[in-house]
Amino acid sequence: MLIYLLRRIASAVSVIVVTLVASFGLFFVAPTDPAGVICGQRCTPERYADISASLNLDEPVVQQVGEYLKGLVAGRTYHSGGLTIDCDAPCLGYSYTLGQPVTKLIGQALPVTVSIVLGGAVVYLAVGILAGVVAARRRGTYLDRIMVGTSLGINAVPYFVLALLVALYATFLPHAGYHPLLENPLTWAVGLLAAWLTLGVANAAAYTRYARASMIETLGEDYIRTARAKGISERRVVYRHGLRAAVTPIATIFGLDLAFQLTGAIFTEAMFGLPGLGVLTLRAFNQYDLPVLMAGVLIGSVVLVAMNLLVDILYTILDPRVRLG
């Protein structure tokens, strides 16, 4: 177990390091002239040189990567137009277009994304698993066929179209907006309701099918027949004996989905105007704000890799039949 764990962690770290170096190479070494973009249209040569120096663009590449890594661990200071900006560790750079350290921007955006994704997950897990179990129990009936057909149909509609139409036409839902949870939990929930429902319904379609398939397989097992033969009530057989075994494969899919959504909630954020990680990256793309772009990609990679690792480890705990190779 320990060796397996160490090997997985080593490979996860290697992925993150390569992402760091590759994105650094992509953003700062490619002929992209970040200083010129930051400086803007009316740029004096002095200001250009000043920005170049503060971004360390005049130094060799290896040293730039070193500075960036040092900033991550120990923090660094930026000098811009006579101003000195302290960027505490972990420092991911400084956004010149917004005039704020990137860490702070990410710190504001990440709770929004996490709120959207977790709230949506509650909706689609509840709806999807319940609908899947009902469909599995009434397998072959009209109800089952309608549910499977609906889920196929919803699944085939592009997600951004669904989010756009809800954002434009579902005016009966409360206006979307982000208010921090700790300030007022009620306004937090009300502001995110539309996003949760959209994300929830779209994903519930897929989870209905996973749950249905998994439940049908489980209900065919011998121990379920034994449980029924013992005279246990049908409800207890289905929900206590059946569902508990049927959710294990769903848990794996859920873990991977959650990781993907944390880095890909961008459509939900953009359509409902919620300032999360995706919207931050999108704004950075439009303004060519390289430090923010790079930090967005990095944070996304770390989240994804960490979630994948967590899912793998949890899976071995959830399902004792899995042997570690």
**Footprint on this chain of other proteins (rule: CB under 8 A):** 11, 14-15, 18-19, 23, 26-27, 30-33, 148, 152-153, 155-161, 164-165, 168, 260, 263-264, 266-267, 270, 277-278, 281-282, 284-286, 288, 293-294, 296-297, 300-301, 303-305, 308
Q: Which is nearer to other proteins, 107 or 185 (CB)?
A: 107
Find tokens 């971004």 and name the residue: 55
Contact 154, 202 (CB under 8 A): yes
Q: At closest approach, how far in Å is the CB of 37 from other proteins?
A: 9
Q: What DSSP state is assigned to residue 145?
A: H
Q: At closest approach, how far in Å is the CB of 122 from other proteins?
A: 23
Q: How far apart are CA 264 and CA 261, in angstroms?
A: 5
Q: How far apart are CA 325 and CA 319, in angstroms?
A: 15
Find the helix packing angle between 243-264 and 277-287, rounded to 10°.
20
Q: At closest approach, how far in Å is the CB of 165 from other proteins?
A: 7
Q: Is 233 helix (H, G, I), strand (E, B) or coil?
A: coil
Q: Which is nearer to other proteins, 65 or 164 (CB)?
A: 164
Q: Which is nearer to other proteins, 44 or 169 (CB)?
A: 169
Q: How far apart are CA 177 and CA 179, in angstroms?
A: 7
**ω into 90 cis (within 30 of 0):** yes
Q: Which is nearer to other proteins, 76 or 209 (CB)?
A: 209
Q: At closest approach, how far in Å is the CB of 184 from other proteins?
A: 30
Q: Which is nearer to other proteins, 51 or 297 (CB)?
A: 297
Please give the single-letter amino acid code of residue 134: V
Q: How far apart are CA 14 and CA 155, in angstroms?
A: 35
Q: Which is nearer to other proteins, 100 or 308 (CB)?
A: 308
Six token digits for residue 39: 């400086």
